[in-house]
Amino acid sequence: MEFKNLLLEKDGHIAFITLNRPEVRNALDPQTWAEIRAAIKECRFDREVRVVIITGAGGKAFASGADIRSLRERETLEVLKSEAQESLNDVENLEKPVIAAIDGFALGGGCELSMACDIRIATARSKLGQPEVNLGIIPGAGGTQRLQRVVGIGKAKELIFTGDIISAQEAKEIGLVNKVVEQPEDLLPAAREMAQKIIAKGPMAVSLAKTAINVGANTDINSGLLFEKFAQTIAFATEDRIEGTSAFLEKRKADFKGK
């Protein structure tokens, strides 16, 4: 797919997806959702990619939410197509870790995009929120479901019912953001540092752990534990397990191949 609204770049084992509509603060329209989905698919089948970093161009917004003009003109039944939900399901279910590097506004669909990622790093000037009720609609790209799983049902209801926009520091305090960096120029280095730390681990183990966590978050604990048991069984059958345990015993750095 030819990308018009985002950039997909690769550096070693890291893929960078940059939302590239700074003139509209990286607003998310149907074309952009489709491109996000295509970029994630490309990362899924690229064996060299082990971590994905999603960020926004321009310095003013990670993603400021839906394109309001597109929302106003949309037909009612078109909402059932739900390309936003499907795109974010693909982000969440990608077998590789995804880091959201947030600078500026992450509102509405932008906040929902960040929550579909596994780890969120923001700058001190960033603002996050689900202000859809101000437009007479609700969060429709997974916000009513993912926000309560991240911050708890009470805080999720408060944020969604009021439409409040919160600071990066408050987002960190409630668990919506993992880490806050003071300066914008520190954001991508911090995201890259996190990615490199993950890349140094066994990629099969990281992938299986992510899947097990996601399954457990959406089912009862006994089903989650059963899935964990099967995931561990698969991990024990990998070459990475032999390499990891051998490297530890031989007091050397492991050279994981993802096999």
For the chain of 259 residues, list the mean pLDDT of each consecutive stretch of 10.
93 97 92 95 96 96 79 62 88 97 96 98 98 92 95 97 97 98 97 97 95 94 95 94 92 90
CATH 1.10.12 domain range(s) in the chain: 203-249
Residue 137 identity (one-letter amino acid): I
Q: Are strands 61-63 and 14-19 parallel, antiparallel or unpaired?
A: unpaired
pLDDT for 157: 98
Topology of the domain covering 203-249: Lyase 2-enoyl-coa Hydratase; Chain  A, domain 2 (1.10.12)
pLDDT for 21: 94
Model-level pTM? 0.93
> What whole-number distance in Å separates Cα of residue 103 and Cα of residue 107?
12
pLDDT for 83: 84
Mind telling me the catalytic residues? Answer: 112, 132
pLDDT for 53: 98
Q: Are strands 127-129 and 179-181 parallel, antiparallel or unpaired?
A: unpaired
pLDDT for 143: 95
pLDDT for 225: 95
pLDDT for 65: 78
pLDDT for 73: 64
Provide the CATH number for the domain formed by 6-199 in this structure: 3.90.226.10
